[in-house]
Amino acid sequence: MSRAREFADLAGSADAGGLSGRNVITNGAVQVAQRATSVTDIGGADGYFTADRWKVFVASLAGRVTQSQASVTDLAGFPNSLKHEVTTADTSISAGEAFQLSQVFEGQDLQSFKKGYSDAEEFTFSFYVKGTAKTYCVEMYDGDNTRHVAQTFSVTSSWSRVELTFPADTTGKFDDDNALSLYLIIWLHAGSNYASGSLPATWASVSNANRAVGTESLFSATSNTFEITGAQLEVGSQATPFEYRSFADELRRCQRYFAELPSFSGPGTGTTDSRGMGSHVVQMRAAPTLGTTGVLNITDGYSYDRVQSSASVALIANSPDFSFFNMPNFSSITGGRIHFGPRDSSNTNRITLDAEL
């Protein structure tokens, strides 16, 4: 077999892993949803709600959606989608309104695009989509250099694969670090502040009026839907077959940004407080902020479990690899005795670790 034939066969089997590492999007097939599988009444604040790495940005929005990791039965190879269903319409669109579905990227993961160099590469974004028939906009927004480029696409009631190639940009390098460099934004609703100009077909300095030109509104009626899966961003002008990853691989990639602390231990420091220290499941992007999913349950191995009267955790010190913290609001803690958690006998609440961009 010739080397050319071998390479052609390898390229043809890209979806089987022959050309791994092409897709810079994490959780493009919506396999992982650590926070929740469905959240209602989204539209009042930015955030990550269900599927990991898919962030919602909003501005001045009256409409609301339910977002869910939905089961898919009519698209071979993709059992999950990220679905949005309108529960409150917004038909009077003020100038500053916006609803964006986004993926955001560290600069160090984008160096293969060679942005800012004379031999810069094109960007190709492909994805499967279905929903209420609409036209929306995809914007690539370079946060390091305040530059952008955008294209529109159409949605129908049946699944279709959208393939959008964006030109190379020889101006403005992505920073080579773990900070946010690129927003990949799907505009699903935009007021005139973002849609009254001309869509930038080539990279240009950001003009807000040009960012989402041609975007129709997902929020034109209740029960409107938008579903996406199989999302891939890669170097070059050709959309290749979707790069499948195992669930374990995708979960680990997501846990770089958000995870639950699997276990911890530390001494009681009085009758109401206990310290805790635990190793993160993977090295995170940065030292995370801590939260809880509810009141924590710990044990000292000698007596009954202890449950907080109200959920609280206070960071003492941490790094991308471990966290050391104080947990208040217990009762009958024995000072100096080592406590372990979490205990699942009365609840399954966990300490959360957030290092999102």
SS (H, E, C) the chain: CCHHHHHHHHHHCHHHCCCCCCCCCCCCCCCCCCCCCEEEEECCCCEECCCCCCEEEEECCCCEEEEEEEECCCCCCCCEEEEEEEEECCCCCCCCCEEEEEEEEEHHHCHHHCCCCCCCCCEEEEEEEEECCEEEEEEEEECCCCEEEEEEEEECCCCEEEEEEECCCCCCCCCCCCCEEEEEEEEEEECHHHHCCCCCCCCEECCHHHCCCCCCCHHHCCCCEEEEEEEEEEECCCCCCCCCCCHHHHHHHHHCCEEECCCEEEEECCCCCEEEEEECCCCCCCCCEEEECCCCEEECCCCCCEECCCCCCEEEEECCCEEEEEECCCCCCCCCCEEEECCCCCCCCCEEEECCC
Q: Which two tokens stand for residue 102?
A: 């986004």
Whole-number pLDDT of residue 3: 44
Per-residue pLDDT of the chain (357 residues; tens, 9 = 90+): 444 444 444 454 444 444 789 999 999 999 999 999 999 999 999 999 999 999 999 999 999 999 999 999 999 999 999 999 999 999 999 999 999 999 999 999 999 999 999 999 999 999 999 999 999 999 999 999 999 999 999 999 999 999 999 999 999 999 999 999 999 999 999 999 999 999 999 999 999 999 999 999 999 999 999 999 999 999 999 999 999 999 999 999 999 999 999 999 999 999 999 999 999 999 999 999 999 999 999 999 887 789 999 999 999 999 999 999 999 999 999 999 999 999 876 678 999 999 999
All domains in the chain, ordered by first residue: 3-255 (2.60.120.260), 258-354 (no CATH)
pTM of the model: 0.93
pLDDT of res. 346 = 67
Residue 109's nearest CA partner among 285, 328, 353, 331 is 285
- Strands in 180-190's sheet, in edge-to-edge order, are 47-48, 55-59, 98-106, 180-190, 134-142, 147-155, 204-205
- Here the tokens at position 293 are 């999913």
- How far is 88 from 116, CA to CA, in rounded Å? 43
The pLDDT of residue 14 is: 44
Phi, psi of 347 (to 5 degrees): -165, 170
Yes or no: say if 290 and 277 are a contact pair by the CB < 8 Å rule.
Answer: no
- CB burial class (10 A; 0-12, 13-18, 19+) of residue 265? middle
Q: What is the pLDDT of residue 9?
A: 44
